[in-house]
């Protein structure tokens, strides 16, 4: 009789656990699980946000961005591709990016250099950049495409950072509660084993709110291991993801433990060539990145960039990119490439940011207006742009991978896009994609998929010793 009673009791507990596992997500919507320590951290977090300070830079990034474009437009060595009346892309004149089917011999390289009246500038695997002293880009491409050993030849496109508007710092990080960040921390705060690569202008390696969160990085431009930021953009992106949280210093990052892998592919002006961006993506993929953030873009598709993205996706890396800031339906790359999570920007009311690009290629939306974060020289700044929206999604992807490192990149995309906040629309939207991210919902779904019986199973395991 005693054994029968024990068996009945165990069946009852197992049944209860199964019911609790099925209903976990619905119940958790009303009452998140957390310990007293976690609750005190959440209360403290409200006060752990950067207040008004002389350390906060006020930089008009819209003017900076416009000045960069004006410089490019007036530079005789830079050429313009006009997609429509307002959208344009740039590339370096008298240069060509060439991919060979089989690597050319040293003798063949010398022959090419002699015939184009130029030089070999850079090489990455089977891809080369050639520069001519006398031939235009169009003439170079025509020359190379006549070679049977050439897979493709294209211009050396220029990528610009995706940020806009002047710096304006508010005395709290509205973006964190807007996406359910703190309640999501009750599921996970991240993992040191899941790295997030920021392929950008580098990161301020000595910033007090970031220095303890940095993994090995790389400077593609200098070909060394010093990806220090001389622009500020990459540091700002990195801080949104991983500024040290709950340290009574500066701002709070969305993840507590995920390392940032800084990869510098853009210079002090925020400009980077397609070759360098592609090399940065490949370097990150080869050095353990689990997530890659690309807050940069160009309206011209690039084969070398597409190949680098495919290389990362085939390694099961999650790739996130900013949609662009010209309020246009013109697809921006790499955001519009297949497999890349394309991120639009919203403001604190959940409305589309007036600058945010739109179209069928948009996958998701995230906060991107007046986002406080870290900046160069140990400073802080508040910037706007889809560049700021993308790292919110990269941080969420890192947290999901922290819950389950074995989850495929396609599964992570599904969770992010299927757990969005209700914005009053049914189905995908050209402005918001599948909606605004919701960290709490996404992490709970990831948790439940990893542990089918949810918290109840943990309770049962504890009960059973």
Residue ranges with strand state E in 295-401: 296-297, 318-322, 341-346, 364-367, 371-374, 380-383
Q: Which of 93, 99, 200, 204 is the catalytic position?
A: 200
Backbone angles phi, psi at 332, to 5 degrees: -105, 145
Q: Which of 90, 156, 207, 233 is the catalytic position?
A: 233
Backbone angles phi, psi at 433, to 5 degrees: 65, -125
Question: Catalytic: 132?
Answer: no
Q: Which of 387, 392, 394, 402 is the catalytic position?
A: 387
Q: Name residue, tokens 């004149």.
A: 93
417 is written with which tokens? 């896009």
Please classify residue 26 by burial: count the beta carbons closer than 10 Å to its beta carbon, then call 0-12 exposed, 13-18 middle and 19+ buried. exposed
Is the backbone of residue 324 left (phi > 0), alpha (psi -120 to 50) or beta? left
> Packing angle between helix 386-403 and helix 409-418, nearest 10 degrees?
120
| Strand partners for 372 | 382
Question: Catalytic: 233?
Answer: yes
CA separation for the pair 219, 228 (Å, rounded): 8
Task: Report H helices in 288-385.
Answer: 303-314
CA separation for the pair 167, 187 (Å, rounded): 33
Q: Are 426 and 410 in contact (CB under 8 A)?
A: no
ω before 334 within 30° of 0 (cis)?
yes
**Which of the 8 DSSP states describes residue 319?**
E
Q: Are 395 and 240 in contact (CB under 8 A)?
A: yes
Question: Catalytic: 361?
Answer: no
In DSSP notation, 100-125 reads ESSPPPHHHHHHHHHHHTEEEEEEET
Catalytic (active-site) positions: 200, 233, 387
């Amino acid at each position: 009789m005693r054994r029968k009673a024990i068996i009945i009791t165990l069946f009852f507990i197992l049944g209860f656990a199964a019911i609790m596992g099925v209903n976990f997500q619905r119940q958790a919507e009303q009452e998140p699980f957390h310990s007293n320590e976690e609750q005190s951290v959440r209360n403290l977090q409200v006060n752990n946000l950067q207040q008004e300070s002389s350390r906060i830079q006020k930089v008009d990034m819209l003017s900076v961005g416009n000045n960069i474009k004006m410089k490019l437009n007036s530079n005789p060595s830079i050429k313009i591709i006009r997609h429509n009346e307002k959208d344009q892309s740039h590339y370096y004149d008298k240069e060509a990016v060439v991919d060979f089917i089989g690597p050319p011999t040293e003798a063949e390289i010398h022959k090419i250099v002699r015939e184009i009246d130029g030089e070999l500038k850079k090489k990455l695997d089977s891809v080369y950049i050639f520069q001519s002293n006398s031939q235009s880009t169009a003439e170079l491409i025509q020359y190379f495409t006549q070679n049977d050993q050439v897979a493709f030849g294209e211009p050396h496109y220029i990528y610009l950072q995706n940020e806009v508007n002047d710096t304006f710092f508010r005395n709290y990080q509205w973006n964190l509660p807007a996406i359910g960040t703190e309640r999501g921390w009750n599921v996970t705060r991240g993992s040191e084993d899941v790295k997030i690569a920021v392929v950008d202008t580098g990161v301020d390696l000595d910033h007090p709110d970031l220095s303890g969160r940095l993994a090995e990085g790389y400077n593609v431009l200098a070909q060394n291991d010093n990806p220090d930021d001389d622009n500020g953009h990459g540091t700002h992106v990195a801080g949104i993801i991983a500024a040290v949280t709950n340290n009574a210093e500066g701002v709070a990052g969305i993840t507590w433990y995920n390392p940032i892998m800084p990869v510098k592919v853009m210079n002090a002006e925020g400009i980077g060539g397609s070759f360098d961006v592609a090399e940065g993506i490949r370097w990150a993929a080869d050095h353990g990145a689990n997530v890659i953030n690309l807050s940069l873009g160009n309206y011209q598709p690039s084969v070398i960039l597409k190949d680098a993205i495919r290389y990362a996706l085939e390694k099961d890396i999650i790739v996130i990119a900013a949609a662009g800031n010209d309020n246009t339906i013109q697809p921006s790359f790499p955001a519009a490439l297949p497999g890349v999570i394309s991120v639009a920007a919203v403001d604190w009311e959940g409305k589309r940011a007036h600058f945010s690009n739109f179209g069928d290629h948009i996958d998701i939306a995230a906060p991107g207006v007046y986002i406080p974060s870290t900046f160069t020289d140990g400073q802080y700044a508040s910037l706007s742009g889809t560049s700021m929206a993308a790292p919110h999604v990269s941080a969420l992807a890192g947290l999901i991978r922290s819950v389950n490192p074995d989850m495929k990149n396609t599964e992570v995309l599904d969770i992010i896009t299927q757990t969005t906040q209700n914005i009053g629309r049914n189905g995908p939207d050209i402005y918001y994609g599948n909606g605004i991210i919701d960290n709490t919902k996404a992490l709970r779904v990831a948790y439940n998929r990893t542990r089918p019986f949810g918290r109840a199973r943990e309770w049962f395991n504890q009960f059973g010793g």
